[in-house]
Structure 1
Amino acid sequence: MTKIKFLDVGWTYTTLASSLDVAAKRVLESGWYILGAEVKAFEKEFATYTGANHCIGTGNGLDSLELALRAAGIGPGDDVLVPSNTYIATWLAVTRTGANIVPVEPIEATYNMNPANLEQAMTKNTKAIIPVHLYGQPADMDPIMAFAEANSLFVLTDAAQAHGSLYKGRMSGTLGHAAAFSFYPGKNLGAFGDGGAITATDETIAEKIRTIGNYGSSEKYVHDSLGFNSRLDEMQAAFLRIKLEILDDWNWRRRNIADIYLKGLKDTPLVLPVVEEWAQPVWHLFVVRCEGREGLITHLKESGIETGIHYPTPPHKQGAYRHMSHLSLPISEAIHREVVSLPIGPHMTAEQAEYVVNTIKEFY
């Protein structure tokens, strides 16, 4: 039976093994494993790739969000406008600073934050907005930034799923005041362990982030603030430098798979992703919607096709946020009930994508 994996991180290693092995040996032989030449080089290369002025490596994507918020002065008593439809990490970062979450419902067609809902969500204590480029498609940033400028708000984009995506020709990572990235192994630009980064336009913010993430220290054994230990690992940076070189090519492969899905499934009952004319997504995930998704998932599984659900439960219905479970967020709740993620990635062939399409058509 045909077997199509939803995610194949092992394929990533076997495809790049010779280069990765050389990089690992280089790091091990250097004798320098924390904040060394590899991290410095990757930070410079990723900043250049995104067009950002600064890049700071971190331990993971959640830390990237939290450190950027703390560097912007977000803390207890502040309100932060956050998408109601997102992975819980976006919410957790706000909570960890002591600030309050104000959920904002998405545009149903694109799943991203709806700029039209910002005015109603605004409070006298609002200090920041976190738009998420969910599933690899950029949020509509121009109206979000205009609203932020009019209200003196800090904008941190959650670009954890959007490495290489474009908004009106501009790279994700430069669309707000700062951007948080994750290099979790399954991401478009994924490490072989945890890792993250923050890109920023302002030098003051960038230096604050770097200091907070290094025990609150900008000089060895001098600690001027309460900091954290959140630094990109030297080995992971070396691996990421290799993968950054082929990121655009592998994103192109994802786009080819997405095109096959969009064309092949357009006459099915599935609700397909909508891509605005100004967006160039990188298809971290290809998410469709359908009623009674369990039947479709079972049919695909029986045909050897793995799927995912991103995400089955909205943040406000999670136990961690039980105090917000009373909120009525009908768009987000409907999305979470109906979404199914089809397999997509550089490991897939066009023939496999066609098989997925034909298998879905058999179901309907």
Structure 2
Amino acid sequence: MIPLTVVDVRDAESLVIDVLRSGGLAQGPMVKRFEDAFARVAGTAHAIAVNSGTTALVASLQALGLRPGDEVITSPFTFVATLNAILQSGATVRFADVARADFALDPDSVAELLGPRTKVLLPVHLYGQMADMGKLAPLAAEHGLHVVEDAAQSVGATFQGQSAGSYGLGCFSLYATKNVTTAEGGVITTDDDELADRLRLLRNQGMRARYAYEAAGYNYRMSELHAAVGIPQLTKLDELVAARQRNARQLSTGLAGTPGLAVPVVLPGRSHVWHQYTVLIGPHAMLSREELAAELTERGIGTGVYYPKLVFDHDCFRGHPQIPAVRPEDFPVAHTLCRQALSLPVHPALTESDVDTIVREVREALGA
């Protein structure tokens, strides 16, 4: 079986052992070392490590002090953590449609939603390529909006040379299958000194010094063990990304022209870090998306569907007071992507022969 994802953190063994031998397991110098390395990747003054990517989103919105009635504009084509964090902030969520080329917020759709209650623009950099920040960032600046980037899948990606996570508050996931993992964990990046200070207070029960509380806070801390797992990956991030990019180019070259299948594209001015390599299976393909996924499983190729429904299209969100009435049909591009998107293996552990096998099996399954 060629799996969709391979997790290899063996390089972290010595650092993990150092932490175990030190006896200091809670947040300490290893976390600080990880934060410094991550800030260099994002090109920001601050990186605040937390215990998950979801926490990164939740804490960022808390730090902005949103109130009931404030609105956050985001994508309906995303993981549920994006929505859950907005709901937890108490704000109202507004969804804009996405662009087919990058799976991310369509600036024109965003512009239609802007109003006096809009406080935050929350783009999602999906699959490893950034949203169109060349249009979204100026739109936010023009209307005085905070930018919170859901960059969970895009560590190291850039837009016109500017790194993901450097446009306001950047929220990253370090979950087990991410390009950089700490098993569980997250990071918030920013150049804003006051917000960084606020976030550090929030993650540590509102304490700057022990038992000296300055705010109502939480335990959002990352452990020393988790930080130790992630540090070696940051050291070799360029190498890991290059391997993903090489595999993606080989996949795109081999799959080009396959009937009914559209390969993903790297848009001008953007660097893609290929957290996922996601093709679209159109209505005229020999097999449906589900049929192709099942056939590839039989042929020993792992696949994934991210995401089968728009994020709000679940019973638990129907009638939610912070979600204005919406239907999947209101977002035609995102709705289509939910039915067509299929991710194929692109991880650094693939060999050239593995990629050739993936290409061959996909093409054969679709009658090429």
1:285 is the counterpart of 2:276: yes
CA shift, 1:72, in A, is 1.5
2:77 aligned partner, one-letter code: N
- The equivalent residue for 2:4 is 6
Q: Residues 308-346 of structure 1, C-alpha deviation per residue, up to 9 Å, x if partnerless? A: 000111112122321256422222111111111111101
Q: Secondary structure at the match of 2:165?
A: coil
Structure 2 counterparts to residues 266-285 of structure 1, below 5 A:
266-268=256-258, 269-285=260-276
Q: Secondary structure at the match of 2:127?
A: helix
Measure the CA separation in 1 of the matches of 2:241 and 2:41. Answer: 14
| Kept in 2: contact 1:256–1:350 (CA 8 A) | no
Measure the CA separation in 1 of the matches of 2:133 and 2:49. Answer: 24
CA shift, 1:274, in A, is 2.2
- The equivalent residue for 1:238 is 228
Measure the CA separation in 2 of the matches of 1:74 and 1:326. Answer: 22
- In the superposition, relative to structure 1, how do residues 199 and 326 fare at CA in structure 2: closer, same or farther (>3 Å)? closer
Q: Secondary structure at the match of 2:261?
A: coil
Q: Alignment partner for residue 359 of structure 1, among 346, 358, 361?
A: 361
Give RMSD over aligned pairs.
1.2
CA shift, 1:21, in A, is 2.1
Measure the CA separation in 1 of the matches of 2:131 and 2:67. Answer: 25
Q: TM-score, normalised by structure 2?
A: 0.93
- The equivalent residue for 1:322 is 318
Structure 2 counterparts to residues 105-124 of structure 1, below 5 A:
105-124=97-116
1:157 is the counterpart of 2:149: yes
Measure the CA separation in 2 of the matches of 1:166 and 1:330. Answer: 27
1:7 aligned partner, one-letter code: T
Q: Alignment partner for residue 53 of structure 2, among 61, 70, 73?
A: 61
Measure the CA separation in 2 of the matches of 1:312 and 1:133. Answer: 18
Measure the CA separation in 2 of the matches of 1:299 and 1:310. Answer: 18
- The equivalent residue for 2:137 is 145
Q: Residues 88-141 of structure 1, C-alpha deviation per residue, up to 9 Å, x if partnerless? A: 111111001111110010011211111111221112211001111100001111
1:198 aligned partner, one-letter code: I
Q: Which runs of 4+ in 1 moved over 6 A?
A: none
1:287 aligned partner, one-letter code: T
Q: Alignment partner for residue 218 of structure 1, among 203, 208, 219?
A: 208
Measure the CA separation in 1 of the matches of 2:71 and 2:159. Answer: 27
1:100 is the counterpart of 2:92: yes
Q: Alignment partner for residue 300 of structure 2, among 304, 308, 318?
A: 304
- The equivalent residue for 2:197 is 207
Measure the CA separation in 1 of the matches of 2:345 and 2:67. Answer: 39
Structure 2 counterparts to residues 246-265 of structure 1, below 5 A:
246-265=236-255
Report which of the two has the higher share of helix. 1
2:254 aligned partner, one-letter code: G
Measure the CA separation in 2 of the matches of 1:319 and 1:345. Answer: 34
CA shift, 1:87, in A, is 1.1
Identity across matched positions, percent = 32
Q: Secondary structure at the match of 2:262?
A: coil
Structure 2 counterparts to residues 131-142 of structure 1, below 5 A:
131-142=123-134
Q: Secondary structure at the match of 1:301?
A: helix
CA shift, 1:224, in A, is 2.2
User: In terms of mean alpha carbon deviation, does 324-333 or 312-321 score higher?
Assistant: 324-333
Q: Alignment partner for residue 190 of structure 1, among 181, 186, 189?
A: 181
CA shift, 1:31, in A, is 1.7
| Kept in 2: contact 1:197–1:232 (CA 8 A) | no
2:314 aligned partner, one-letter code: Q
Query: Tell me, which stretches of 5 or more residues in structure 2 are unaligned?
Result: none
Measure the CA separation in 1 of the matches of 2:266 and 2:6. Answer: 26
User: In terms of mean alpha carbon deviation, does 100-109 or 291-300 score higher?
Assistant: 291-300
How many residues in Structure 1 have an aligned counterpart in Structure 2?
354
Measure the CA separation in 1 of the matches of 2:52 and 2:315. Answer: 23
Q: Secondary structure at the match of 2:312?
A: helix
Q: Residues 151-197 of structure 1, C-alpha deviation per residue, up to 9 Å, x if partnerless? A: 110001111100111111122121x1110011001000011x21011
1:305 aligned partner, one-letter code: I
Q: TM-score, normalised by structure 1?
A: 0.94
User: In terms of mean alpha carbon deviation, does 59-68 or 225-234 score higher?
Assistant: 225-234
2:345 aligned partner, one-letter code: P
| Kept in 1: contact 2:12–2:231 (CA 8 A) | no
